[in-house]
Amino acid sequence: MKKFAFTLAEVLITLGIIGVVASMTLPAIIQKNNEKTTVSKLKKVYSVLQQAQLNIINEYGTFDNLVTSNTQTGIDENGENILDYTNTELLRNLFAKELKVIKSCEAGQNCLGKTVYLLSGNVHGEYKDPTLILADGTKLFFGWTYACSQTSVCAEVGVAFPGANKNRYTLGKDIFYFHIYSKKIIPAGKTSGKLADDSCNIKADGHNCAAWVLFNENMDYIHCDDLEWGRKTKCNQK
């Protein structure tokens, strides 16, 4: 009975084809898995922030009575505003008491340690806001605060996750924002209309992507620019 076997050349050709296919598909699979991990991380940190705010309210009262507006104290040699971060640092310290913090950074320090980029790819600069580094590596940076009421925004907190790129953070990929109100925290971004109209788009800055990620559980806005709340929530959806 005659037996058949692959020649060495045939084996090498087959392995080469498998290698090419893997090199084409593996990066996309890895990226999709990273995006799912980011969704899970954002859900977790949102829950942590909500519980922290609730604890602060129970001890000190609602945020409209705790937070006042930052003030501008002058102009530096580069023409940039010199800001008084006293109120922002107060806000950071309130949250620090409720979180597992391994390091606290003052205003003026680049505690993120990386350059920040917009989702469009343009350089955004360095963030030097009062920052907390949590035990899992997540960084919370507290921005401008406002004199607020029961229904208006009191402050903004940004969340930066340790990203795959060691040299940069990108809004909408590694950095997400939340708005702090008197009695609640909500993710930045609208929950209706076209996503391209809300600064969460590969052609925009990526500032308002948190709401989309939390409610739709994906980051497809990185891959297509025609997503819309309630109509098209995934790139492959017709």
Q: Over the stretch 42-87, which tens digit does the pLDDT of each residue have?
A: 999 999 999 999 999 999 999 888 877 655 555 555 655 556 677 8
Judged against a pLDDT cut of 60, whether residue 88 lies above it is answered with: yes
pLDDT at 180: 94
Residue-wise DSSP of the chain: -------HHHHHHHHHHHHHHHHHHHHHHHHHHHHHHHHHHHHHHHHHHHHHHHHHHHHH--GGGT----EEEEE-TTSPEEEE-HHHHHHHHHHHTTS-EEEEE-TT--TT-SEEE-TTS-EEE---S-EEEETTS-EEEEEEE----SSS--EEEEEE---S-TTEEEBTTTEEEEEE-SS-EEESS-SSSBGGGTT-STTS--TT-HHHHHHH---GGGT-S--BTTTB-STT--
Q: How confident is the model at residue 168 (pLDDT cuts 50, 70, 90)?
A: confident
131-135, 154-158, 198-202: least confident range: 198-202
Question: pLDDT, tens digit, for every residue of 6-17?
Answer: 676 666 676 666
3 state DSSP class of 30: helix
- The residue type of 217 is E
Burial class (CB in 10 A: 0-12, 13-18, 19+), 230: exposed
Judged against a pLDDT cut of 60, whether residue 152 lies above it is answered with: yes
The answer to whether the pTM exceeds 0.85 is no
Question: pLDDT, tens digit, for every residue of 196-218?
Answer: 777 898 888 899 999 999 999 99
Judged against a pLDDT cut of 70, whether residue 231 lies above it is answered with: yes
Q: In the chain, what are the domain boundaries?
A: 31-189+205-214
Task: Report the alpha-carbon distance of residue 139 to residue 129 in Å, rounded.
Answer: 11
Which of the pair, 30 or 204, is modelled with greater confidence?
204
Task: Report the alpha-carbon distance of residue 135 to residue 117 in Å, rounded.
Answer: 25
Backbone φ, ψ for residue 157 (5° rounding)? -125, 135
Judged against a pLDDT cut of 60, whether residue 3 lies above it is answered with: no
Which of the pair, 3 or 125, is modelled with greater confidence?
125
- The residue type of 171 is L
